[in-house]
């Protein structure tokens, strides 16, 4: 609700996340389990978000800005996101 209100007032929303583990910047892929290291090495390497932050395994590696929203009956069904890597990544 706060994000919708902020966007309605023409204020973009900056956010950051950790995309290093699940991305291939050269080819432009971002998806969960892009690389299945657990299966490759036969180990369980999954940690909770809290543990990843505690052990510095997670980090802010990518910044983006939400610049728009599409609402259907008052509920968001799409967000317009500006990517800080530009338009050439994955091309």
pLDDT tens digits along 45-78: 778 878 888 888 778 888 899 999 999 999 999 9
Tokens of 27: 């080819």
Q: Contact at 8 Å (CB) between 91 and 78?
A: no
How far is it, in rounded angstroms, from Cα 62 to Cα 76? Answer: 23
- Per-residue pLDDT tens over the stretch 17-46: 887 777 777 777 777 766 777 888 887 777
Domain of residue 53 covers 2-83
Q: How many domains does one find in the chain?
A: 1
Query: Rounded to two decimals, what is the model's pTM?
Result: 0.64
**Does residue 24 lie within any of the structural domains?**
yes
Taking residue 85's Cβ as centre, other Cβ atoms within 10 Å add up to 14
Query: For residue 90, is pLDDT > 70?
Result: no
Q: Contact at 8 Å (CB) between 69 and 76?
A: yes
In 3D space, the residue among 61, 73, 70 whose CA is nearest the CA of residue 23 turns out to be 61
**Does residue 90 lie within any of the structural domains?**
no
State mean pLDDT over 1-26.
88
Query: For residue 3, is pLDDT > 90?
Result: yes
**Does residue 91 lie within any of the structural domains?**
no
Q: Contact at 8 Å (CB) between 66 and 2?
A: no
How far is it, in rounded angstroms, from Cα 59 to Cα 61? Answer: 6
Q: Residue 77's pLDDT is what?
A: 96
Q: Residue 16's pLDDT is what?
A: 87
């Amino acid at each position: 609700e706060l994000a919708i209100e902020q966007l309605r007032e023409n204020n973009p929303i900056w956010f950051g996340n950790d995309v290093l583990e699940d991305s291939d910047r050269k080819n432009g892929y971002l998806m969960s389990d892009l690389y299945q290291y657990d299966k490759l090495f036969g180990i369980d390497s999954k940690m909770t978000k809290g543990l990843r932050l505690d052990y510095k395994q997670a980090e802010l590696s990518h910044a983006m800005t939400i610049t728009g929203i599409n609402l259907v009956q008052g509920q968001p069904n799409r967000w317009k996101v500006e990517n800080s890597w530009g338009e050439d990544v994955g091309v």
